[in-house]
Amino acid sequence: MNILVWHVHGAWTTAFVHGRHRYLVPVEVGRGPSGRGRARTYRWPDAAVEVMATELATADVDVVVAQRPEELALAAGWLGGRRVPVVYVEHNTPKGDVPLTRHPMADRDDVRLVHVTHFNELFWDNGGTRTTVIEHGVVPPAAEYTGELARIAVVTNDPVRRGRVTGTDLLGRFGPVAPLDVFGMGVTPLAADGAGGAAGAVTPYDDVPQDEMHQLIARRRLYLHLCRWTSLGLSLIEAMMIGLPVVALATTESVRAVPADAGILSTRVDDLVDAARWLIDDPGAARRIGKAGRVAVHDRYGLDRFLDDWDRLLEEETCASR
């Protein structure tokens, strides 16, 4: 198939474009939000092809995979009004009056709505729109856990701006346990802003290429996940695939993604601080828990399962349109 899909969420799109199709990725001058083109810090196969908006009017497009409401209007204009099946992927937890928040695609009969977690599907008000859950898939990281550094790895984007959403205010609680190495976009200000009192303990690694980041976090003793209200972060799954033991808030989809023997989850932050201290002090326990996590996510969040699920759904949509 020829699939029109925007580069919105780098990690999810990286998995998606590893399928057996041709992926048309819009690009515009200046690589603005309507057309960022191919990713620069992720490994994408050649099947993901950049295409200018002006080229889409005559391009073969079998299905549109949208991820933001405005993309439906963009696709309609760029495709010259052609009727093409639309699948809308919702990556995020609802905002506003939860759990009464109406999804922007609610009660539409021209869109198939796909949620990336069962938590998101449960909490959004989807109305009568046809809805499916396709859980995340992850390209296996080319890194293996060693954990020789008694340090804590964190991966997050825009932690200062997002603040309590990503649990940035909680980082300071872990500073006395071990130094924190924070990877992601917009993390540099953490060293100056204090990160909830952890300024002296935080070393930021801003926008490191994915492969390099995986190698770096594999050397840290544990992975810390403090998101209060975001969808399931793929960095959590990647950390588990590498073999890092995880310490995480028991919120949103994390409670389903991390089995009991594969990490420590709690809504009591003191429990997580104690767990982090234990893993820092006991490398053997860290390796044992990390190994259990790696086994748990191999099949559930494996790339083959993810791509097979998407192939079935895309075939349903294109066959129905024909």
Specify the CATH architecture of the domain 149-300.
3-Layer(aba) Sandwich (3.40)
**Alpha-carbon distance 299 to 112, whole Å?**
26
The DSSP 8-state label assigned to residue 156 in this structure reads -
- Domain locations in the chain? 2-137+302-321, 149-300
User: Which CATH number does 2-137+302-321 carry?
Assistant: 3.40.50.2000
| pLDDT at res. 76 | 95
**Alpha-carbon distance 272 to 138, whole Å?**
26
**Alpha-carbon distance 11 to 30, whole Å?**
22
The DSSP 8-state label assigned to residue 36 in this structure reads B
| pLDDT at res. 139 | 93
pTM comes to 0.92
The DSSP 8-state label assigned to residue 233 in this structure reads P
pLDDT in tens, the chain (322 residues): 999 999 999 899 999 999 999 999 999 888 888 888 998 888 899 999 999 988 999 999 999 999 999 999 999 999 998 999 999 999 999 998 998 999 999 999 999 999 999 999 999 999 999 999 999 999 999 999 999 999 999 999 999 999 999 999 999 999 999 999 999 999 998 887 656 666 678 999 999 999 999 999 999 999 999 999 989 989 999 999 999 999 999 999 999 999 989 999 999 999 999 999 999 999 999 999 999 999 999 988 999 999 999 999 999 999 877 6
| pLDDT at res. 68 | 97
- Asked if the domains 2-137+302-321 and 149-300 are classified in one and the same CATH topology, the answer is yes
CA-CA-CA-CA dihedral for 156, 272, 267, 115, to nearest 10: 40
| pLDDT at res. 196 | 60
